[in-house]
């Protein structure tokens, strides 16, 4: 059965057209209008992603759009299944929150400034690239989307122009480029072996022969470097901590998830035979090391933004626990799939809140040294509460989204008698609690600190809303997460 455009598939076209046209318009219109164009486009994008999610849920199957009427294998298709829809929605929510947060910082008042033009156009470009990764159904199309994402994200890291952030951006670029090239190498082998790059077609054709296995190894290695899984995480803390707060939020919440999303597509979509056998244990083992080392390093950081960045390194490890736990079909093991996606979504919301909150604290105090954080809680109570709520979700305390995610993964670990991953989950929660409490207790010490700059309550409210969302996710009934199961390519 060939892929054909499904009703509602046309919506997917706008998920690409809206960001691209908005970015090009913002580039031409200039710095002062760029922010307004971006905000309008992002709000429209939020509505669009809700429409796509509803359509996928109602239809019970993935949305497909054949581009130009040329069907795969010759042509390219876009495909939105349950996990695409969920991540599209998360992307839109985090982007809107970030845009509202950053609206006054990059207003471009007094003529176009470098930072305002670059920030808004690259934010829109980043959004378009995320959508392209989430909807892409063709492996080479996904390569171009990954490069688009890297090129849009890297200049945001060094937006302030300091030597330190420029060096971090260069290191980020090198790791990201190596990752993309290894991925592309695998794509070449897959094309040579199967004559198509369409994910759905490949899932039917894939065999476990030499070219396929070599390709899988290369592509996975490349994607792991891009998603900063231990031990290829060295580039992340400098890059995410060095970026301005709004960019850090998007980088940690969204950009670093895109390669993970593709590993999911590769392992569970194209080559499900990989998910049986020892390979998933290796991935999860690296994930466990990421949780251990990331959390331990976060505990030792002297600066708040670096602490949050190392927390990202740790939390990415949780995502890879999904691989041995969701590796087979079955109702209870569908729980691990849901748990992993829920971890991705709640981490995205919580981490965005934490980075934006850290940014506000740094603005108000004039610095982000952990040692001198005292009084921040009395100065910015909403923000510190938001930080705490985000931390709650990362720790996996009820009733947050993070709790439900880890509970589902724990359940799956027990059901499949892989109790060692359950141990990892529990100890990870303890370690996360360690560095979250470190921040909270540091900020609550002493009388209110002197404010260097005024932080508007509107921006604090945005941070709080993002944090509340990550907690409220856990209150939704489990059935509502059925969306993530839609359109899963069965082995």
Partner 1 sequence: MSGAWLLDGVLLLAVPAIALASLLSRRVLPALAAFVAYGLLLALVWMRLGAPDVALTEAAVGGGVTGVLLIGAAARLLMPAAAAPPGWPLRLLTALLCLGVTAGLAVAVLALPEPAPTLAPQAAEQLAATQLGNPVAGVLLAFRAIDTLLEAVVLVIAVIGIWGMAPDGAWGGRPGPVQPRLADGSVALLAMLLPPVGIVFGIYLAWVGADAPGGAFQGGSILAAMWILAWLAGLVRPPRIDSLALRLLVVAGPALFMLVGLAGFVVADGFMAYPAAWTKPVILLVEAALTLSIAVALCLLVAGWPMRRARA
Partner 2 sequence: MSIASAYGLLGAVLVGLGLYGVVLQAEPLRRILAFNLLGGGIFLLFGVMARRGAGAGFSGDPVPQAIVITGIVVAFAATALAVHLLLRLQAARDEPVPPEEPRA
- CA 459 to the chain's CA centroid: 22
- Any contact of residue 30 with partner 1 (CB under 8 A)? yes
Among 63, 145, 256, 405, binds partner 1 (CB under 8 A): 145
- CA 164 to the chain's CA centroid: 24
117 binds, among partner 1, partner 2, none (CB under 5 to 8 A by kind): partner 1
Using the contact rule CB under 8 A, the part of the chain among 30-38, 53-61, 123-131, 181-189 near partner 2 is 181-189
Answer whether 330's CB lies under 8 Å from 349's CB.
Answer: no
Site string for partner 2, 144-163 (x = CB under 8 A): x--x---x--xx--x--xxx
- Any contact of residue 23 with partner 1 (CB under 8 A)? yes
| Cα separation, 455 vs 444, whole angstroms | 18
SS (H, E, C) the chain: CCCCCCCCCHHHHHHHHHHHHHHHHHHHHCHHHHHHHHHHHHHHHHHHHHHHHHHHHHHCCCEEEEHHHCCCCCCCEEEECHHHHHHHHHHHHHHHHHHHHHCCCCCCCCCCCHHHHHHHHHHHHHHHHHHHHHHECEHHHHHHHHHHHHHHHHHHHCCCCCHHHHHHHHHHHHHHHHHHHHHHHHHHHHHHHHCCCEHHHHHHHCCCCHHHHHHHHHHHHHHHHHCCCCCCCCCHHHHHHHCCHHHHHHHHHHHCHHHHHHHHHHHHHHCHHHHCCCHHHHHHHHHHHHHHHHHHHHHCCCEHHHHHHHHHHHHHHHHHCHHHHCCCCCHHHHHHHHHHHHHHHHHHHHHHHHHHHHHHHHHHHCCCECCCCCCHHHHCHHHHHHHHHHHHHHHCCCCCHHHHHHHHHHHHHHHCCCHHHHHHHHHHHHHHHHHHHHHHHHHHCCCCCCCCCCCCHHHHHHHHHHHHHHHHHHHCCHHHHHHHHCCCCCC
Among 20, 191, 203, 303, binds partner 2 (CB under 8 A): 191
Residues 63-92 that bind partner 1 (CB under 8 A): 65-70, 73-76
Using the contact rule CB under 8 A, the part of the chain among 41-49, 106-114, 396-404, 483-491 near partner 1 is 106-114
Number of residues that bind partner 2 (CB under 8 A): 30
178 binds, among partner 2, partner 1, none (CB under 5 to 8 A by kind): partner 2
Answer whether 98's CB lies under 8 Å from 250's CB.
Answer: yes
Among 32, 105, 107, 155, binds partner 1 (CB under 8 A): 155
- Any contact of residue 27 with partner 2 (CB under 8 A)? no
For the bound state, the minimum distance from the C-beta of residue 244 to partner 1, rounded and expressed in Å, comes to 12
- CA 337 to the chain's CA centroid: 16
184 binds, among partner 1, partner 2, none (CB under 5 to 8 A by kind): partner 2
Using the contact rule CB under 8 A, the part of the chain among 9-17, 51-59, 327-335, 456-464 near partner 1 is 9-17
Answer whether 189's CB lies under 8 Å from 266's CB.
Answer: no
- Any contact of residue 215 with partner 1 (CB under 8 A)? yes
163 binds, among partner 2, partner 1, none (CB under 5 to 8 A by kind): partner 2
- Any contact of residue 24 with partner 2 (CB under 8 A)? no
Answer whether 486's CB lies under 8 Å from 200's CB.
Answer: no
Among 51, 115, 118, 177, binds partner 2 (CB under 8 A): 177
Site string for partner 2, 202-241 (x = CB under 8 A): --------------------------------x-------
- Any contact of residue 185 with partner 2 (CB under 8 A)? yes
For the bound state, the minimum distance from the C-beta of residue 392 to partner 1, rounded and expressed in Å, comes to 36
Among 54, 96, 107, 211, binds partner 1 (CB under 8 A): 211
- Any contact of residue 294 with partner 1 (CB under 8 A)? no
| Cα separation, 370 vs 99, whole angstroms | 27
- Any contact of residue 349 with partner 1 (CB under 8 A)? no
By beta-carbon proximity to partner 1, the closer residue of 10 and 458 is: 10
For the bound state, the minimum distance from the C-beta of residue 131 to partner 1, rounded and expressed in Å, comes to 11
- Any contact of residue 69 with partner 2 (CB under 8 A)? no
Q: What is the number of residues in the chain? A: 491
Using the contact rule CB under 8 A, the part of the chain among 89-97, 182-190, 294-302, 432-440 near partner 2 is 182-190
| Cα separation, 167 vs 313, whole angstroms | 19
Number of residues that bind partner 1 (CB under 8 A): 62
- Any contact of residue 118 with partner 1 (CB under 8 A)? yes
Interface with partner 1 (CB under 8 A): 5, 10, 13, 16-17, 20-21, 23-24, 27-28, 30, 65-70, 73-76, 112-115, 117-118, 121-122, 125, 128, 132, 138, 140-141, 144-145, 147-148, 151-152, 154-155, 158-159, 161, 166, 185, 189, 192-196, 209-211, 214-215, 217-218
Interface with partner 2 (CB under 8 A): 74, 140, 143-144, 147, 151, 154-155, 158, 161-163, 166-167, 169-171, 173-174, 177-178, 181, 184-185, 188-189, 191-192, 195, 234
């Amino acid at each position: 059965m060939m892929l054909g455009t499904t009703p509602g598939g046309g919506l997917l076209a706008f998920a690409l057209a809206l960001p691209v046209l908005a970015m090009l318009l913002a580039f031409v219109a200039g710095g002062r209008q760029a922010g307004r164009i971006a905000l309008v486009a992002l709000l429209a994008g939020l509505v669009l992603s809700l429409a796509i999610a509803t359509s996928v849920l109602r239809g019970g199957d993935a949305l497909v759009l054949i581009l130009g009427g040329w069907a795969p294998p010759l042509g390219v298709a876009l495909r939105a299944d349950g996990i695409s829809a969920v991540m599209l929605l998360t992307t839109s929510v985090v982007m809107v929150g970030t845009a509202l947060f950053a609206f006054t910082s990059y207003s471009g008042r007094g003529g176009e400034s470098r930072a305002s033009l670059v920030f808004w156009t690259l934010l829109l470009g980043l959004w378009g690239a995320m959508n392209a990764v989430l909807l892409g159904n063709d492996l080479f199309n996904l390569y171009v989307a990954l490069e688009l994402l890297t090129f849009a994200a890297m200049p945001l890291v060094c937006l302030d122009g300091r030597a330190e952030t420029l060096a971090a951006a260069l290191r980020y670029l090198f790791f990201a480029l190596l990752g993309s090239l290894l991925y592309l190498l695998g794509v070449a082998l897959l094309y040579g072996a199967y004559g198509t790059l369409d994910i759905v077609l490949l899932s039917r054709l894939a065999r476990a022969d030499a070219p396929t296995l070599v390709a899988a190894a290369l592509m996975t290695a490349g994607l792991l470097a891009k998603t900063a899984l231990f031990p290829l995480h060295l580039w992340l803390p400098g890059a995410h901590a060095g970026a301005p707060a709004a960019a850090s939020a998007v980088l940690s919440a969204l950009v670093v998830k895109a390669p993970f999303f593709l590993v999911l597509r590769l392992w569970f979509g194209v080559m499900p035979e990989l998910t049986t056998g020892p390979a998933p244990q290796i991935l999860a083992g690296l994930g466990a090391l990421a949780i251990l080392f990331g959390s331990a390093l976060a505990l030792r950081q002297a600066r708040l933004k670096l602490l949050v960045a190392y927390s990202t390194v740790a939390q990415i490890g949780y995502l890879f626990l999904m691989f041995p736990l969701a590796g087979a079909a079955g109702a209870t093991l569908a729980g691990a799939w849901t748990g992993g996606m829920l971890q991705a979504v709640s981490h995205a919301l919580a981490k965005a809140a934490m980075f934006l909150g850290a940014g506000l604290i740094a603005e108000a105090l004039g610095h982000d040294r952990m040692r001198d954080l005292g009084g921040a809680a009395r100065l910015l109570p909403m923000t510190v509460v938001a930080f705490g709520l985000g931390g709650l979700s990362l720790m996996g305390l009820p009733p947050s989204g993070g709790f439900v995610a880890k509970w589902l993964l724990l359940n799956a670990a027990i059901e499949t008698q892989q109790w060692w991953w359950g141990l990892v989950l529990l100890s990870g929660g303890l370690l996360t609690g360690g560095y979250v409490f470190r921040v909270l207790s540091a900020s609550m010490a002493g009388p209110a600190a002197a404010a260097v700059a005024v932080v508007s309550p509107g921006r604090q409210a945005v941070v709080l809303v993002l944090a509340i969302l990550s907690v409220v996710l856990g209150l939704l009934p489990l059935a509502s997460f059925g969306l993530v199961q839609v359109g899963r390519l069965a082995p």
